[in-house]
Amino acid sequence: MDIYSKRRAQKIWSVLRFPLFLTGQRYISQAAAKIDVDFDYDGPLMKTEVPGPRSRCLLFVFSCKNAEAVHFFCNYEESRGNYLVDVDGNRMLDLYSQISSIPIGRRQLYQSFLFCPQASTFINRPALGILPPENFAERLKESLLSVAPKGLPQVITMSCGSCSNENAFKAIFMWYRNKERGHNNVTKEELESCMINQPPGCPDYAMLSFMGGFHGRTLGCLATTHSKAVHKLDIPSLDWPIAPFPRLKYPLEDFVKENQQEEARCLEEVEDLIVKYRKKKKIVAGIIIEPIQSEGGDNHASDDFFRKLRDIARKHGCAFLVDEVQTGGGCTGKFWAHEHWGLDDPADVVTFSKKMMTGGFFHKEEFRPNAPYRIFNTWLGDPSKNLMLAEVIKVIKREDLLNNATHAGKALLTGLLDLQARYPHLISRVRGRGTFCSFDTPNDATRNKLITIARNKGVVLGGCGDRSIRFRPTLIFKDHHAHLFLNIFSDILANFK
Amino acid sequence: MDIYSKRRAQKIWSVLRFPLFLTGQRYISQAAAKIDVDFDYDGPLMKTEVPGPRSRCLLFVFSCKNAEAVHFFCNYEESRGNYLVDVDGNRMLDLYSQISSIPIGYSHPSLIKLLQQPQNLSTFINRPALGILPPENFAERLKESLLSVAPKGLPQVITMSCGSCSNENAFKAIFMWYRNKERGHNNVTKEELESCMINQPPGCPDYAMLSFMGGFHGRTLGCLATTHSKAVHKLDIPSLDWPIAPFPRLKYPLEDFVKENQQEEARCLEEVEDLIVKYRKKKKIVAGIIIEPIQSEGGDNHASDDFFRKLRDIARKHGCAFLVDEVQTGGGCTGKFWAHEHWGLDDPADVVTFSKKMMTGGFFHKEEFRPNAPYRIFNTWLGDPSKNLMLAEVIKVIKREDLLNNATHAGKALLTGLLDLQARYPHLISRVRGRGTFCSFDTPNDATRNKLITIARNKGKKVCDRNETMNKRWI
Ligand SMILES: Cc1ncc(COP(=O)(O)O)c(C=O)c1O
Ligand SMILES: Cc1ncc(COP(=O)(O)O)c(C=O)c1O
């Protein structure tokens, strides 16, 4: 950062902080000036509103891509640490991190990348399933296998979150069918009928999913996604069972009994659905669930709920698939969010992507496909992403970023609860685990207005569900970033009309 | 390459070539010694059989990955140009190129240069959520890369991470387009919005994609419903009742079976129309037709340009979208950038999907297939700008070195040679066919095929295995 803009930044900041002192409100930003990661910026720096003139101009010339969802254009060369810089030179504290897919902040990989001659890994992309590079096993051990959830020693990589879930479904269906068969002999009828999409070769199996869940947008995943109509409308789907997800009342300590009843009701419905579908000859081979329903509005359930759900899955012989695409990677304070539950019997399959830089899934030994090419595609992931992931995991361990997520998350949540107490008409249902926090706003319009104002004050926030705001910072989001945000946001709320 | 191994290579080659001269057979490898790409090796170099001891040892320690399909382990640092080097130091002429996904050879200097430029670093390590926060140069890079090779009439493009995702999302774009056409307006009813959340019509209409027997379009659930090449891909996975038409089974040599082949193609086209009508009667509407220009995984099955033109007409006549899957055929190996450009369509295809050699997945489409709201065709990453960066360079190289013409010429040399071999070994080689370097032939059976592949591999050539078919892929 050049001195000129540094000076400007300080000037802007002095203006922004001033009202806080004056009004005598709780000075929650005591640590906000601290900069402990030396490649991080020291604060937001806004030059225009967002999207600024350059972003708008690019949006205009950009009409040959489906760009309706584009927020603004970014300058990734200048983005560093917790800060995203846009093409207009605005620098924003990024609490959304590319829909939660940046693990340790921009530029952290820079050093290790520049000095190792890994060019081949980036430009010679192999068909991993048939011709892996020599160091592939080694790299898997350094990266994915070093963080494998307990009890799931097997892993396979994929290119994205949706592919990971699709292939996890397939592994589950194969496992279930083999269990049903009881032997390995496939009949001629099965082999012939599967070629024309018919049973018995293509059996009438289903995955049970939850209302409000999100598991991706390809056809199979989409049949288990139920968060917003815009994802599903006009796409043919499958008659698979959908159970209700608990709708907890907050603050939790005031509604213990109600919430327990609500969770019991949902679990009962799960069992009923499995039985009901079995009666109409549609067999539930697996249950898929997110540890925290993310796209659906950051809906939480108790650890007890998940433990009981795991028991139901076992009781009915269904596989238990935990989708950690958004929750995995450390942001909840544990590497995998489902580790909070304390399961006796681990999940059967755990899918990941986003922060893990590569998609894929972990699974128990018994879910290993019984023949080559059954779980397969051209690339099966990308070794250049494993290379980076290995580095990311080293940084997470070295800098103790899981503990950091717990601490920074606590600072954020405490601050949000405080704001909720002061602005109950704007903020409700504050909830979170680690930095994976969120709150509700009264409605869609208020939510979007808050996001826009925050952006123009230098904070990137993301929405989810119909009126929630969610926090998805990187793992190098520290206490002082939390205070920095709370400072700005408290200001916004004080002046919100 | 060090001098020592160069000398060894020459020694090996002199041994190998010797019998050819002695027996006085046609010397079909006259140009084999020529090295015109300076980063390429000058020939195979075998040190062990393949898989060698090191590959086998790695396979053994590798038991925590699903590794049953692994052929052998590779040394990509040493692989260059047309040559794949394995961990035992064997260097093989690669005619399979990572299931047809390496466009301009291993470790191309132009790509290495890209990586060495510090200004590109950010592209490799900061992967954005492209759909919402694209980098500044994204439009520019698209223009240099994908849009510069867009098929005629398809000005729109969207990137994806792999071939299956590309097809899945192309299906979705087609379903949305069809439904909007049916609606005739943009107003969605409350019933539609509510029913779609629980997977039911009218929100999730009973639409279908028509596909062809022997076709391969990927392995995710939607794609798999249109894939019909091998049981191993499909067994035990629930599927959809979507119509499946027969793909012409041509007789070779083509010039001897003109009439039979015409009849065969006409029969298949008739079946397509019948299926569309039949499915419509049972309230399942065919919204689109998906086809490969050459059925690749299914055994390199070709059909005439005329067949595809007529199929396009049928699609239009019945209001179905026409989706051409160029995941394997695209990128230049047939001598044109897109294989379907050989057909000479009046009305272009509606959607064309790509991946593999294009380094990124995605699809081109007509303006009218653009989703009518944001987030309808979407995912977290929507491709990867680092792949676009490399693709831009690849396309530059393809243009600069005139590699499309090269594919035509090299393909001709290959095909002529194969026809010659077929004439001499008809009991081993039949149905020689191809376009550009996208060539193949049949062997009498699976066992012979696999034996030939293993022998070739140990002689330093790597080819792929398909249904009774041996394909040769390169560019
Ligand atoms: C829980 C969950 N599963 C799956 C996905 C799909 O991942 P992708 O967008 O990479 O296909 C997402 C993406 O947001 C997700 O949050
Ligand atoms: C024609 C065709 N379509 C789709 C695919 C699927 O691509 P991917 O393996 O990247 O999912 C393939 C892969 O072999 C293919 O050949």
Distance from CA of A18 to the nearest CA of B (A): 32
Given pLDDT bands bounded at 50, 70 and 90, which one contains residue B25? very low
Q: Is B469 a catalytic residue?
A: no
**pLDDT value at residue B21:** 31
Task: Tell me the β-bridge partners of B321.
Answer: B288
Q: How far apart are CA A173 and CA B428, in angstroms?
A: 40
A178-187 per-position pLDDT tens digit: 999 998 789 9
pLDDT of A18 above 50: no
Q: Whose CA is nearest to atom 3 of ligand 1?
A: A215
> B357 and B330 in contact (C-beta within 8 Å)?
yes
Q: What is the mean pLDDT of residues B34-62?
A: 75
Q: Do A234 and B205 touch (CB under 8 A)?
A: yes
Nearest ligand by distance to the CA of B164: 2
Q: Which helix (H) or strand (E) holds B442?
A: strand B438-442
Site to substitute for ligand 2 among B171, B221, B302, B327, most atoms within 8 A of C-beta: B327
The region that residue B356 occupies, defined by phi over 0 for left and psi between -120 and 50 for alpha, beta otherwise, is: left
Q: How far apart are CA B2 and CA B397, in angstroms?
A: 27
pLDDT of B3 above 70: no
Closest CA in chain A for residue B194:
A229
The angle, 0 to 180 degrees and rounded to 10, between the axes of the packed helices B258-281 and B305-317 is: 20
End-to-end CA distance of chain A: 35
The SS3 of residue A243 is strand
The SS3 of residue B438 is strand
From the alpha carbon of A295, which atom of ligand 1 is closest?
A: 16
The angle, 0 to 180 degrees and rounded to 10, between the axes of the packed helices A303-315 and A256-279 is: 20
Strands A359-363 and B361-365: unpaired
Higher per-residue pLDDT: A425 or A54? A425
From the alpha carbon of B328, which atom of ligand 2 is closest?
A: 16
Task: Tell me the β-bridge partners of B56.
Answer: none
pLDDT of B315 above 90: yes
Q: Whose CA is nearest to atom 8 of ligand 2?
A: B163
Residues of chain A positioned with their CB less than 8 A from the CB of B227:
none
Q: How far apart are CA B42 and CA B63, in angstroms?
A: 36
pLDDT above 70 covers what percent of chain B? 88
A57-110 per-position pLDDT tens digit: 776 655 544 556 777 777 877 778 788 888 888 888 887 777 666 666 544 444
Strands A205-210 and A283-289: parallel
Q: Do A235 and B172 touch (CB under 8 A)?
A: yes
Catalytic hit among B380, B399, B416, B454: B380
CA dihedral A191, A192, A193, A194 (to 10 degrees): 50
Beta strands across the sheet bearing B469-472: B430-435, B438-442, B469-472, B464-466
pLDDT of A9 above 90: no
Q: How far apart are CA A191 and CA A201, in angstroms?
A: 6
Nearest ligand by distance to the CA of A360: 1
Distance from CA of B263 to the nearest CA of A (A): 24
Distance from CA of B11 to the nearest CA of A (A): 28
Q: What is the mean pLDDT of residues B176-190?
A: 93
The angle, 0 to 180 degrees and rounded to 10, between the axes of the packed helices A479-494 and A444-456 is: 120
Q: Cis (ω within 30 of 0) for the bond into A241?
A: no
A308-327 per-position pLDDT tens digit: 999 999 999 999 999 999 99
**pLDDT value at residue A31:** 44
Q: Do A217 and B125 touch (CB under 8 A)?
A: no
Question: How much is the mean pLDDT over chain B?
Answer: 86
Given pLDDT bands bounded at 50, 70 and 90, which one contains residue A24? very low
What's the CA angle centered on A296, arms A294 and A298, to 5 degrees? Answer: 45
Residues of chain A positioned with their CB less than 8 A from the CB of B221:
166, 169, 218-221, 223
Which of A138-142, A435-439, A480-484, B358-362 is least confident?
Answer: A138-142
Structure tokens that stand for A1 in this block = 């950062």
What's the CA angle centered on B325, arms B321 and B331, to 5 degrees? Answer: 135
Give catalytic residue positions of A.
Answer: 214, 323, 354, 378
> B73 and A130 in contact (C-beta within 8 Å)?
no
φ, ψ at B199 (rounded to 5°)? 65, 20
Site to substitute for ligand 1 among A214, A290, A351, most atoms within 8 A of C-beta: A214
Amino acid at A67: A
Catalytic hit among B336, B356, B387, B472: B356
Site to substitute for ligand 2 among B233, B300, B351, B355, most atoms within 8 A of C-beta: B355
Nearest to B164 among A121, A163, A242 (CB): A163
From the alpha carbon of B380, which atom of ligand 1 is closest?
A: 9
Given pLDDT bands bounded at 50, 70 and 90, which one contains residue B67? low
Half-sphere exposure of A39 (CA within 13 A, CB side): 16
Nearest to A166 among B176, B180, B220 (CB): B220
Question: How much is the mean pLDDT over chain A?
Answer: 85
Given pLDDT bands bounded at 50, 70 and 90, which one contains residue B74? confident
The region that residue A390 occupies, defined by phi over 0 for left and psi between -120 and 50 for alpha, beta otherwise, is: alpha
pLDDT of A357 above 50: yes
CA distances from A209 to A14, A173, A349, A485, B362 (A): 50, 15, 15, 35, 28
Quote the pTM value.
0.87
Nearest ligand by distance to the CA of B327: 2
Name the DSSP letter for residue A201: T
Q: Whose CA is nearest to atom 7 of ligand 2?
A: B163
Half-sphere exposure of B398 (CA within 13 A, CB side): 25
Q: How far apart are CA A98 and CA A355, in angstroms?
A: 9
Given pLDDT bands bounded at 50, 70 and 90, which one contains residue B66? low
Q: How far apart are CA A398 and CA A37, in angstroms?
A: 13
> B107 and B80 in contact (C-beta within 8 Å)?
yes
Q: What is the mean pLDDT of residues B277-300?
A: 96
Judged on CB neighbours under 10 Å (0-12, 13-18, 19+), B239 is: buried
Q: Is B408 a catalytic residue?
A: no
Q: Which helix (H) or strand (E) holds B178?
A: helix B163-183
Beta strands across the sheet bearing B351-354: B156-160, B361-365, B351-354, B321-325, B285-291, B207-212, B244-245
Q: How far apart are CA A426 and CA A497, in angstroms?
A: 10
Which of A11-25, A289-303, B111-125 is least confident?
Answer: A11-25
φ, ψ at B261 (rounded to 5°)? -65, -35
| Residue closest to A25 by CA, chosen among A374, A334, A488 | A488
Q: Is the ipTM of this complex over 0.90?
A: no
> A180 and A191 in contact (C-beta within 8 Å)?
no
End-to-end CA distance of chain B: 22
Q: How far apart are CA B94 and CA B81, in angstroms?
A: 9
φ, ψ at B29 (rounded to 5°)? -105, 35
Strands B461-462 and B285-291: unpaired
Please give the interface size between A and B, counted as residue pairs whose CB atoms are below 8 Å apart: 374
Which of A354-358, B275-279, B365-369, B469-473 is least confident?
Answer: B469-473
Q: What is the mean pLDDT of residues B7-32?
A: 36
The SS3 of residue A284 is strand
Report the separation in Å between the CA atom of A444 and the middle of ligand 2, taken as the mean of its atom positions: 40
pLDDT of B7 above 60: no
Report the separation in Å between the CA atom of A59 and the middle of ligand 1, taken as the mean of its atom positions: 25
Residue reference for tokens 């059989």: B49
> B72 and B55 in contact (C-beta within 8 Å)?
yes
Our measurement of the distance from residue B151's CA atom to the centroid of its chain's CA atoms, rounded to an integer in Å, reads: 16
**pLDDT value at residue A332:** 96
Q: How far apart are CA A333 and CA B69, in angstroms?
A: 37
